[in-house]
């Protein structure tokens, strides 16, 4: 089944930052409960926006979230020290967001990840910047997979992010990622994938409908997860319907359950 990583607990969102600053546990707890009920498999936790407070904010968020829902967390920080603290506090095996092929980032993150029991989001970014074509995405994915395997992270726990780029500046960027995903699944059997979906529609009107249609295409190409807002009813309906059509929903059970719950409307 497709893995939804709930993106809402991020202090770059003004409402979340206010709740964290005021230690409003009720707001955070209610939000993650709603994400869980909507179908999130992981809750992404990013406390980086309040400069100088990330560690204490992350610690508080983990306590509140894990007291409210029994879901694994995606620990999202550029600071290995914050991640180390968060990893020790995680009650279920977490996902780490993220590592890349950028020299500084790899050198910071590799010692932290070595031997850890976790999944990892790995970005197809290196010191030259964003990938220019599908060949670069696939070659970087192979380097990331091999490097993480050396650190003890198997393919099955590696979520490659091909780095979706806006089609408003280059109409080929969507096709580029679709091609790369299909190739990754052929050439790296067992690998997982994820993305920040909304980048595709940057600069265009009616972004939500673009995101929904692109997600369906990405799932068809082999995308296994996405970092999204699970409270977006329409995109969750697209996920459940696409999962069913791709043969991932035995006897259409999840789809039928969602229809009965009013989560999918005709």
Q: Each residue of 239-257: pLDDT tens digit?
A: 999 999 999 999 999 999 9
Q: To the nearest whole number, what is the mean pLDDT of the chain? A: 97
Rounded CA-CA distance 79/36 in Å is 27
In Å, what is the CA distance from 27 to each residue of 12, 70, 119, 181, 183? 16, 17, 28, 37, 42
**Would you say residue 221 has pLDDT above 90?**
yes
- Asked whether residue 105 falls in the same domain as residue 27, the answer is no
Measured CA to CA, the distance from residue 183 to residue 189 in angstroms comes to 10
Residues 11 and 67 in one domain: yes
The 10s digit of each residue's pLDDT in 204-220 is: 999 999 999 999 999 99
Whether residue 105 is contained in a domain is answered as yes
**Residue of 120, 122, 184 whose CA lies nearest to 152:** 120
DSSP classification of residue 205: S
Measured distance CA(31)–CA(37) in Å, rounded:
10
In a domain, 244, yes or no: no
Residue 266 has pLDDT above 90, yes or no: no
Q: What is the CATH number of the domain that holds 151?
A: 3.20.20.20
Angle at 30 between CA 24 and CA 36, to 5 degrees: 140
Q: Could you list the residue range(s) of the whole structural domain that residue 76 is in?
A: 1-92
Looking at the structure, tell me whether residues 100 and 197 fall in a common domain: yes
Q: Is 197 helix (H, G, I), strand (E, B) or coil?
A: helix
Q: Give the separation between CA 143 and CA 250, rounded to whole angstroms.
A: 35
pLDDT band at 199 (very low <50, low <70, confident <90, very high): very high
Same domain for 140 and 57: no
Question: Are 122 and 145 members of one domain?
Answer: yes
Counting the structural domains of the chain, the total is 2
């Amino acid at each position: 089944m497709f893995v939804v990583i709930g993106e809402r607990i991020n202090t770059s969102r003004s409402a979340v930052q206010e709740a964290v600053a005021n230690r409003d546990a009720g707001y955070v707890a209610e939000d993650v409960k709603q994400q869980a009920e909507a179908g999130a498999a992981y809750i992404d936790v990013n406390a980086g926006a309040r400069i100088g407070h990330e560690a204490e904010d992350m610690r508080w968020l983990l306590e509140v979230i894990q007291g409210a829902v029994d879901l694994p967390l995606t620990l999202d920080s550029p600071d290995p020290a914050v991640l180390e603290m968060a990893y020790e506090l995680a009650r279920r095996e977490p996902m780490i967001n993220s590592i890349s092929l950028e020299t500084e980032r790899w050198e910071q993150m590799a010692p932290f990840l070595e031997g850890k029991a976790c999944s990892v989001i790995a970005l197809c970014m290196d010191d030259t910047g964003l990938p220019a074509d599908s060949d670069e995405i696939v070659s970087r994915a192979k380097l990331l997979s091999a490097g993480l395997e050396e650190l003890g992270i198997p393919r099955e726990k590696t979520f490659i992010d091909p780095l979706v780029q806006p089609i408003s500046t280059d109409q080929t960027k969507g096709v580029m990622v679709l091609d790369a995903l299909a190739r990754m699944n052929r050439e790296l059997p067992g690998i997982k994938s994820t993305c920040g979906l909304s980048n595709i529609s940057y600069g265009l009107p009616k972004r939500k409908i673009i995101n929904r249609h692109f997600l369906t295409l990405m799932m068809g190409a082999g995308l296994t997860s996405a970092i999204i807002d699970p409270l977006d009813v329409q995109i969750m309906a697209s996920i459940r319907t696409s999962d069913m059509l791709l043969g991932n929903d035995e006897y259409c059970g999840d789809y039928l359950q969602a229809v009965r719950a009013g989560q999918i409307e005709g």
